[in-house]
């Protein structure tokens, strides 16, 4: 027997990446990270089948995210990246003016290197 767990779907031999469990009392299908060990009342699914999973009418699908999986960029991440690019592209004279103005305006800022700031700990 192979040490890699396979998808529970018929005729699918791909490796499992998620575990599906049904909560019949709540009419809920819970899809989460691959369980530590296989159980008879759970279904292991490959990436393709876990993405395409649908539930019967009236049921809810709850998708639990894996904390170790890389997170998708949020709007805040993209905005921070855009601001960093704008600041890096700013001419040196204006960048120095902005830095000196920011240092006096932000008492938490200790030092600056490029677009990165070193902040004082809020405990101090």
Burial class, 64, CB count within 10 angstroms (exposed 0-12 / middle 13-18 / buried 19+):
exposed
**Quick one: average pLDDT of 108-124?**
74
CA atoms within a 13 Å half-sphere pointing along the CA-CB vector of 94 = 6
CA–CA gap between residue 10 and residue 13 (Å, rounded): 8
Residue 105 has pLDDT above 60, yes or no: no
The two tokens of residue 7 are: 């998808």
Query: Would you say 7 and 46 are in contact if contact means Cβ atoms under 8 Å apart?
Result: yes
Higher per-residue pLDDT: 35 or 68: 35
Q: Does residue 33 carry a pLDDT above 80?
A: yes
Q: How much is the average pLDDT of 89-116?
A: 64
Question: Rounded to an integer, what distance in angstroms lies between the CA atom of residue 83 and that of residue 105?
Answer: 18
**pTM as predicted:** 0.52
| pLDDT value at residue 122 | 73
């Amino acid at each position: 027997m192979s040490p890699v767990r396979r998808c529970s779907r018929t005729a699918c031999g791909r490796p499992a990446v998620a575990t599906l469990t049904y909560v019949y009392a709540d009419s809920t299908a819970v899809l989460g990270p691959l369980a530590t060990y296989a159980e008879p009342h759970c279904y292991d699914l490959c990436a393709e089948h876990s993405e395409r999973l649908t539930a019967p009418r009236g049921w809810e699908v709850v998708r639990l995210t894996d904390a170790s999986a890389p997170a998708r960029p949020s709007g805040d991440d993209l905005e921070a990246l855009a601001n960093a690019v704008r600041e890096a592209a700013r001419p040196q004279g204006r960048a120095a003016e902005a830095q000196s103005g920011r240092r006096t305006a932000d008492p938490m800022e200790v030092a600056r290197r490029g677009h990165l700031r070193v902040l004082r700990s809020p405990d101090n």
